[in-house]
Amino acid sequence: MADEQLEAEWVRGWCEQTDAALTKLMQSFQARHGFPPARNVVARATNESHGATDKLVELTPTPSDLTTMYWVIGEVSLPDVDSGYFVHPASTVASDFREYGAVQIDGEEPALVFAGDGGGHLFALAGSGRVWRSTTASWFDQFDLAAANLREFFEGLAGRISGQL
């Protein structure tokens, strides 16, 4: 599964299923937690985000799965799922790359940070397709394997949403 490329059709299906699960979660959120939810959204890609993806690809070698994902998804903001999960827009990934560079992981191709959680941990996608999570809220500390590929990463997010229903 680690060698399988992410398909845009699978990402579109994930978006639809996630939208439905988020709608259900948000309907019961205040009753369960005692406060209203924030805005939890899977924003679809737009012409503007496609342009930002093109600029990211021009700036640095970008894993093809990340490009595929950005062709469907502009960004993901899930502040009320666990401690929060955020898939950054391509423009943010490019800006962060200019400022911090790629993440260096032993035995791995340089990885691009594309997401974070509410605790400040970062998620980076390497050229191998593997997703890595920082052990601290830092670009420069250790990263541990989080998912075999981007599809597994998104399946994990879906599972976290479903786990709160």
The secondary structure of 123-158, three-state, reads: EEEECCCCEEEECCCCCCCCEEEEECCHHHHHHHHH
Is the CB of residue 123 less than 8 Å from the CB of residue 157?
Answer: no
Collapse the DSSP code of 93 into the 3-class scheme (helix H, G, I; strand E, B; otherwise coil) and give the result: helix
- What CA–CA distances, in Å, run from 143 to 26, 108, 122, 124, 161? 32, 11, 9, 9, 24
- What CA–CA distances, in Å, run from 55 to 59, 74, 110, 115, 129? 6, 14, 18, 18, 20
Selection from 41, 109, 113, 111 nearest residue 77 by Cα: 41
- What CA–CA distances, in Å, run from 80 to 50, 62, 77? 27, 29, 9
Is the CB of residue 25 less than 8 Å from the CB of residue 36?
Answer: no
**What pLDDT, on the 0 to 100 scale, is given for residue 3?**
59
Q: Which two tokens stand for residue 108?
A: 């791995």
Predicted TM-score (pTM) of this structure:
0.94
Return phi, psi of residue 86, to 5°: -140, 115
Is the CB of residue 112 less than 8 Å from the CB of residue 140?
Answer: no
Per-residue pLDDT of the chain (165 residues; tens, 9 = 90+): 455 799 999 999 999 999 999 999 999 999 999 999 999 999 999 999 999 999 999 999 999 999 999 999 999 999 999 999 999 999 999 999 999 999 999 888 889 999 999 999 999 999 999 999 999 999 988 999 999 999 999 999 999 999 987
Selection from 44, 38, 149 nearest residue 85 by Cα: 38
